[in-house]
Amino acid sequence: MSSAAYTVFYFDAFSGRAEPAHLMLAAANASFEKKGKDDLPSTAFQAPALRDNSSGLVLGQTTVISKFLGRRLGFDISGGDEEIVAMKIADDIADIWSEGYSLRKKLDAGKCLEWLDVRPDGTRNRGRFVRLLSVINESRSMGGLRGQGQTFLTGSEVKYVDFLFLNAVRVMEHCYGADRVALCLGQQACGNLKDVVENVKGLERLKEYLASCPPVLYESVSAAKLFGQTGRRDSRSISPPKPPSQGSLAKRYSKGFVDKTVGPRIDNGPPPGHAALKKRSTINVGELRTDSIHDFNKEQRKTEKVENAWGAMFNAAGGGKK
C-alpha cells in the first residue's frame, strides 16, 4: 500500500477534471500520489478517481470526490439547507465545465464568441457563460448562505466548491483566453466572482502548486488554436477556412474528385462551367450540388458579424485599454 494518504487517478499530461482534488490536497498539505488511468480500480467507471489509501475506499465523479475530500480535509459545508445549496452550486460549476469544454471542441469560433458574449439576449447560446455565472452568484445568498460579496463563494472560509470553481475558470481560460474570461467574470451580475477566483489562487499552499502544476487541458483545445493568439483582446484573428475556388471546383469535378463539402463522385459528363457556377445559386449534375459554397458564405458572414459585435462590446467595456 502506498505511503501517501491518497491516490488520484487521471491522465498524465494534464490535470483536467482531477484538478479540484489536486488543489484541495495541496491546500491542505495532504500527501497524495498520481497514477494514470490505466491503473484505475474497477470500482470507478472512468477517470478521475480517488483512493483513500487508509481505508481502500475508491470514488469516481469529480463533484463526489470534492465533497468527500472537503469532509476529510476541512473544506466541507455540512448540515441544513446550506449543504444542499452548496451542492447545487457545485452542479452549476459542472455545467460551466461541460458546456464550455464541449463547445470549444466543436471548433466553431462564432458559437464560442456568442457563448462568451456579455450581453445575453434570451437565446440559448448568446451570453450563456455570464448567465451561468450570475446564477452561481445569486445562489450564494440562498438557504442561509451569506456568500455574496464575501472572500469565497459561500462565506469567509474556503470550501470545496471554491476549488471546483477555480478549476472551471482555469479550464475556460485555457479554452478561450484569460482576457475573455475575466471580462465575463467582471460583469455586474457576477458580483465579486472575479475576486473569489483570485482569493483561492492566493491561498499560501496553492501558490507553489499553481506555479509548477501541469496544464489543465491539452493544447489542441487552447485559445491559441481557436483564436490565433491567446492574449488577443478581440476576435480579429479568427480566419474561417476559405471555400474552394470556382476554378478548382471545376477541375475536381472533371477528375471525379470526391469532396465531402460538395457532393458524391461523378465519373462522366462535362464539368460545370465557370460562368454557370457564378451565375446560378444551385447546380445539379447528377447528385452533385454546390449549395455548400453558399452555405459557407452565409456562415462566414454570420461569424464576421459576431466578431465585430465582440470587438465593439469589449471596447465599450473598457477591455481595449492596455
Whole-angstrom Cα distance, residue 34 to residue 251?
55
Whole-angstrom Cα distance, residue 84 to residue 81?
5
More confident residue, 206 or 308: 206
The pLDDT value given to residue 126: 94
Of the candidate ranges 18-27, 81-90, 241-250, the one whose mean pLDDT is the lowest:
241-250
Number of domains in the chain: 3
The answer on 155 and 26 residing in a single domain is no
Position 239 in a domain: no
CA distances from 35 to 26, 50, 303 (A): 16, 10, 42
Structure-block grid coordinates of residue 124: 440559448
The answer on 167 and 90 residing in a single domain is yes
The answer on 223 and 112 residing in a single domain is yes
pLDDT exceeds 60 at position 76? yes
- First-to-last alpha carbon distance for the chain, in angstroms, is 53
Closest of 45, 73, 77, 76 to residue 61, by C-alpha: 45
Structure-block grid coordinates of residue 109: 469560433
The answer on 255 and 171 residing in a single domain is no
pLDDT winner (highest mean) among 24-38, 42-56, 234-248, 299-313: 24-38
User: Mean pLDDT over residues 299-312, rounded?
Assistant: 58
Whole-angstrom Cα distance, residue 304 to residue 239?
9
The answer on 181 and 94 residing in a single domain is yes
How high is the mean pLDDT of the chain? 81
User: Mean pLDDT over residues 281-290, rounded?
Assistant: 39
The answer on 161 and 120 residing in a single domain is yes
pLDDT exceeds 50 at position 268? no
pLDDT class of 46 with cuts at 50, 70, 90: confident
AA identity, residue 70: G
More confident residue, 25 or 279: 25
Exposed, middle or buried: residue 208 (CB in 10 Å: 0-12, 13-18, 19+)?
exposed
pLDDT in tens, 83-103: 999 999 999 999 999 999 999
Whole-angstrom Cα distance, residue 154 to residue 143?
11
The pLDDT value given to residue 41: 82
The answer on 54 and 86 residing in a single domain is no
**How many percent of the chain have pLDDT more than 90?**
60
The answer on 192 and 105 residing in a single domain is yes
Whole-angstrom Cα distance, residue 150 to residue 245?
57
Whole-angstrom Cα distance, residue 129 to residue 183?
11
Position 157 in a domain: yes
Which domain, by its residues, includes 35? 6-71
Whole-angstrom Cα distance, residue 214 to residue 38?
19
Position 131 in a domain: yes
What are residue 58's phi and psi, to 5 degrees? -120, 130
The answer on 223 and 94 residing in a single domain is yes
pLDDT exceeds 70 at position 216? yes
CATH of the domain at 61: 3.40.30.10
Place of cell 469565497: 152
Rg of the Cα atoms in the chain = 25
Residue finishing a domain among 40, 71, 102: 71
DSSP state of 145: -
User: Mean pLDDT over residues 190-218, rounded?
Assistant: 96
b/e burial code for range 275-284 (CB count within 10 A of at least 16 → b): eebeeeeebe
pLDDT exceeds 80 at position 243? no
pLDDT class of 304 with cuts at 50, 70, 90: low
User: Mean pLDDT over residues 66-77, rounded?
Assistant: 97
The answer on 266 and 192 residing in a single domain is no
Is the peptide bond prior to 48 cis by the omega test (within 30 degrees of 0)? yes
The pLDDT value given to residue 121: 84
Whole-angstrom Cα distance, residue 258 to residue 137?
52
User: Mean pLDDT over residues 102-112, rounded?
Assistant: 90
The answer on 158 and 101 residing in a single domain is yes
pLDDT exceeds 50 at position 241? no
Closest of 137, 98, 94, 140 to residue 115, by C-alpha: 98
The pLDDT value given to residue 286: 39
pTM for this one?
A: 0.72
pLDDT class of 260 with cuts at 50, 70, 90: very low
